[in-house]
Structure 1
Amino acid sequence: MQAELTPVAEGFKTYNNYGAWLRKKYNGQRVFKVIVDGGFTCPNRDGSRGFGGCTYCNVDSFTPTVSRENPSIREQVIKGMERARTGNKADKFIIYFQPNTNTYAPAHYLKMLYDEALSYEPENIVGLSVGTRPDCIDAEKIALLESYTDRFDVDLEMGMESIYDETLSQLNRGCSHSELLNALELLKNSKLDVCVHTIFGLPGETNEMMLKYADEINLFPQIKFVKFHHLHIVEGSIMGVKYKREPFKLFSLPEYTDFLCELLPLVREDIVIQRLFGLSDRDLLIAPDWGLKKSEIQHFIDETIRKRGIIQGSALSL
């Protein structure tokens, strides 16, 4: 029997959202991520696994302009903290190595970069977040990241993108789903918090296929966080060139929200959802253009979820 649905107060979220999780974990303090560009490349760009990168990818589309313009780690961290304090009244910070593949270097070099980024106002830093690919994870790098867990909360974010190898191949991903599974096995008893990132609406995948992502994610108790994104097409990507020549179907905002309303009841209730959608800079976005600000999109999705009585994990309560 499905869990009984109860009336939900306006503004209250019926999914395990990251903002509420942060407030609870850090006793009401305002915690914000400071994005750091460590100058990494990617094995799918330098020839190690391929050339050209994933077809959907333009690194600049998800890297703030300020990070791209400040090559110094020190300057990025200090200015990032200043912006978060001024714009968001931040109290504490998570240092987030985001652009490209942030474990794609020898462990001693990674340690040097992580140490530097964590050395500015360490008393106000609560976490380290590192984004990477599953094929750039090994026991030595896991051990390095675990060495910070006595001082900080550390999460490792890996791109799942799709669970289907045919899709990954079409995306020129250079990384199979089995490599993600291997990385998750290495992280089975790790002190690290694992986050996986998915993209919904990739060409050739039906709603039924995409709903199976939840089944896969639910299998792994080591997965603590997820980021759900809809596919958006950006300038500077291979997919962007193809889309301009032959446009294909992308989610509208109502369609994507309908999909999320199907997906969320299938997702384990203990998994913290860091994002339900993703956006690129307006000057880089080709499609879909939903014509709304990020806060407006979030409000539309949250209100639809609330009004429909959608509860994360409710379909798993039997």
Structure 2
Amino acid sequence: MESTVAAVWEKGYNNYGPWLKEKYKGHRVFKVIVDGGFTCPNRDGSKGYGGCTYCNVDSFTPSVSRNAPTVREQVIQGMERARTGNKADKFIIYFQPNTNTYAPAHYLKMMYDEALSYGTEDIVGLSIGTRPDCIDPEKIALLESYTDRFDVDLEMGMESIYNDTLAQINRGCSHDDLVKALKMVENSKLDICVHTIFGFPWETHEMMLRYADEINRFPQIKFVKFHHLHIVEGSVMGVKYKRQPFKVFSIDEYADFLCELLPRVRPDIVIQRLFGLSDRELLIAPNWGLKKSEIQYYIDQKILSRGVVQGTRFTGL
């Protein structure tokens, strides 16, 4: 057991990849992205139009997923690609694009059931990406109904902890909405993940470091995804950036920031991701000129060279 725990922590943080391998007894687990054709309440007019100002939803979804006609076919094709290209043998079905609880519960059940209908024991998990204002007890109960067969994680976009930022990016919900959603899953069987974005130009360094304190205070948060802000084609922010460029992270600055952030993060929280990356043809800035694996290596090496360890500055709740 000690060797597997050491593998999870060998990079200085509670690393999702080795954590999955340890949890699933050495199997190679891969997330299969599914596009359920959902929209968002700040896209369809329910709360607004245009979506979040940083978002072109295509930039977060591989084109191979966007082109598959049915949910079940996306699952089958995604699993085959992962088996061939990534040597995966276990799979988590991941509803990622847009808001994947933004529909009546009976419709959601139909979609989730279809995704899981491939009938293979190789599917071990279901992951649902959504917004905190599109969560309610009925939808939580629906997701919990799958937990006797699968590990189910609910991923909610925190993005920023500041309501002023959420208003500026046309988020259509407040940080209070996230707090309410987290309260609803306080004693849930679901694994809770929150997603954050660092680098909004009006947020200071100290403001961003405080994200860790806010995340730490919710024991129900099991996973986090950290992203740096990137500017993409087809987004409102992309148009503004082209007119008047603003400061974005260099890779060195972002790695330095993570070296400050990680010691503040509660040590039991599993880090699913340290950065995000859109398709190169959509990316405007920051263009670090590196592949995903090269960015990961660069950040990991900086963390290791500085002796950074997640949680060493966490003082408890």
Q: How does 1:101-116 map to 2 (within 5 A)?
A: 101-116=99-114
Match of 1:82 in 2: 80
What SS does the corresponding residue of 1:197 show, helix, strand or coil? Answer: strand
Are 1:135 and 1:175, in contact at CA under 8 Å, matched by a contact in 2?
A: yes
Match of 2:251 in 1: 253
What SS does the corresponding residue of 1:315 show, helix, strand or coil? Answer: coil
User: Larger deviation: 71-80 or 96-105?
Assistant: 71-80
Match of 1:25 in 2: 23
1:317 shift after superposition: 5.3
Match of 2:3 in 1: none
CA distance in 2, matches of 1:122, 1:139: 29
What SS does the corresponding residue of 1:54 show, helix, strand or coil? Answer: coil
CA distance in 2, matches of 1:170, 1:317: 32
Task: Verify: 1:173 aligned to 2:150, yes or no.
Answer: no
CA distance in 1, matches of 2:173, 2:261: 25
Paired residue type of 1:295: S
Paired residue type of 1:141: K
CA distance in 2, matches of 1:60, 1:194: 24
TM-score normalised according to structure 1 size: 0.96
Task: Verify: 1:143 aligned to 2:144, yes or no.
Answer: no
CA distance in 2, matches of 1:32, 1:72: 20
CA distance in 1, matches of 2:161, 2:228: 15
Match of 1:68 in 2: 66
* Residue-by-residue CA offset, 1:258-293 (whole Å, 9 max, x unaligned): 000000000000000000000000000000000000
Kindly tell me the number of residue pairs found equivalent between the two proteins: 310
Match of 1:3 in 2: none
Task: Verify: 1:302 aligned to 2:277, yes or no.
Answer: no
* Residue-by-residue CA offset, 1:44-69 (whole Å, 9 max, x unaligned): 10011111100000000010101111
Paired residue type of 2:139: K
Match of 2:312 in 1: 314
Paired residue type of 2:58: D
User: Larger deviation: 106-115 or 65-74?
Assistant: 65-74
CA distance in 2, matches of 1:122, 1:109: 23
CA distance in 1, matches of 2:103, 2:201: 32
Paired residue type of 1:205: E
What SS does the corresponding residue of 2:117 show, helix, strand or coil? Answer: coil
CA distance in 2, matches of 1:20, 1:50: 40
1:122 shift after superposition: 3.0
Q: How does 1:125-144 map to 2 (within 5 A)?
A: 125-144=123-142
CA distance in 1, matches of 2:224, 2:179: 15
Match of 1:290 in 2: 288
* Residue-by-residue CA offset, 1:22-80 (whole Å, 9 max, x unaligned): 00000010000000000001001001111110000000001010111112112100110
In the TM superposition, structure 1's runs of 4+ consecutive aligned residues that sit over 6 Å from their partners are none
Q: How does 1:118-267 map to 2 (within 5 A)?
A: 118-267=116-265
Give the root-mean-square deviation of aligned CA atoms. 1.2
CA distance in 2, matches of 1:182, 1:100: 20
CA distance in 2, matches of 1:316, 1:189: 23
Gaps of 5+ in 1: 1-7
What SS does the corresponding residue of 1:212 show, helix, strand or coil? Answer: helix
CA distance in 2, matches of 1:226, 1:48: 28
Paired residue type of 2:136: D
* Residue-by-residue CA offset, 1:85-113 (whole Å, 9 max, x unaligned): 00011010000000000000000000001
Q: Which has the higher contact order (CA 8 A, sep 6+)?
A: 1
CA distance in 1, matches of 2:140, 2:108: 11
